[in-house]
């Protein structure tokens, strides 16, 4: 008995679905391959596995969510980050970001870095984690009580990040070297929060507490 029209259509739909799925998987693989190739320039500072390097002022970026990596690369490309005199590492990073010529380039390298296993940098700074826990309470509203981040609030994961980098960024937010650009909405929000930390010791204490959080959880 010849197949009915409905069964023929169903089979055709299945074939199209499988073929489309195969093309999507192939495209995703190609994007990651392109991202890996694009990342070779980044590796000079961030390391082959994205673990970061303090001597270059390069943070650990392995395993950070692609949405956050994309947003920061776009901010560098647009001049919303790496614009301030005195922000040496930001000024170094901006031309690296502009070497990614298209949005697709940015998306590919961000997708690749997000696949790398998260790094666990060693502690380098002293601080009072108990006092820092109290200071971190307002931060947890966006970054989460576990420091895992929240995409809906555009708050990155903090847990697992190098303490020297966290301290440097808090200092930049407080000084206006980061977060003062008129188009950097999330940076402006963070600048206001960083300003509630009254001095460097307060920043060191909150960073010391963040160091106690496991680099898991959160909303990627």
> Cα 129–130–135 angle (5° rounding)?
85
Whether pTM > 0.85 for this model: the answer is no
User: Per CATH, which fold does 120-220 belong to?
Assistant: Cytochrome Bc1 Complex; Chain D, domain 2 (1.10.760)
Angstrom CA distances, 128 to 136, 143, 181, 204, 219, stand at 12, 20, 32, 8, 27
CATH 1.10.760.10 residue window(s) in the chain:
28-119, 120-220
| φ, ψ at 4 (rounded to 5°) | -70, 165
> Structurally, what CATH architecture does the domain formed by 28-119 represent?
Orthogonal Bundle (1.10)
pLDDT tens across 173-183, in order?
Answer: 999 999 999 99
**What would the pLDDT profile of 136-189 be if each residue is shown by its tens digit?**
999 999 999 999 999 999 999 999 999 999 999 999 999 999 999 999 999 999
d(CA 28, CA 15): 20
User: Are 29 and 35 contacting, i.e. CB atoms less than 8 angstroms apart?
Assistant: no
């Amino acid at each position: 008995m010849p197949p009915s029209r409905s069964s023929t259509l169903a089979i055709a739909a299945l074939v199209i679905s499988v073929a489309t799925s195969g093309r999507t998987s192939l495209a995703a693989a190609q994007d990651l391959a392109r991202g890996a190739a694009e990342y070779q320039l980044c590796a000079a500072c961030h390391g082959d596995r994205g673990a970061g390097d303090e001597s270059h002022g390069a943070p650990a970026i392995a395993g950070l969510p692609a949405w956050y990596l994309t947003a920061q690369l776009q901010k560098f490309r647009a001049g919303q980050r790496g614009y301030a005199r005195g922000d040496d590492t930001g000024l170094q990073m901006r031309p690296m970001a502009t070497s990614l010529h298209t949005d697709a380039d940015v998306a590919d390298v961000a997708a690749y870095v997000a696949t790398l296993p998260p790094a666990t940098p060693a502690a380098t700074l002293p601080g009072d984690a108990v006092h820092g826990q109290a200071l971190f309470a307002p931060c947890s509203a966006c970054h989460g009580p576990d420091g895992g981040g929240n995409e809906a609030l555009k708050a990155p994961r903090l847990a697992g990040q190098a303490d020297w980098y966290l301290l440097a960024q808090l200092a930049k937010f407080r000084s206006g070297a980061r977060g003062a650009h008129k188009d950097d909405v999330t940076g402006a929000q963070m600048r206001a929060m960083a300003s509630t930390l009254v001095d460097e010791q307060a920043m060191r204490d909150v960073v010391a507490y963040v160091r106690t959080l496991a680099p898991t959880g959160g909303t990627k």
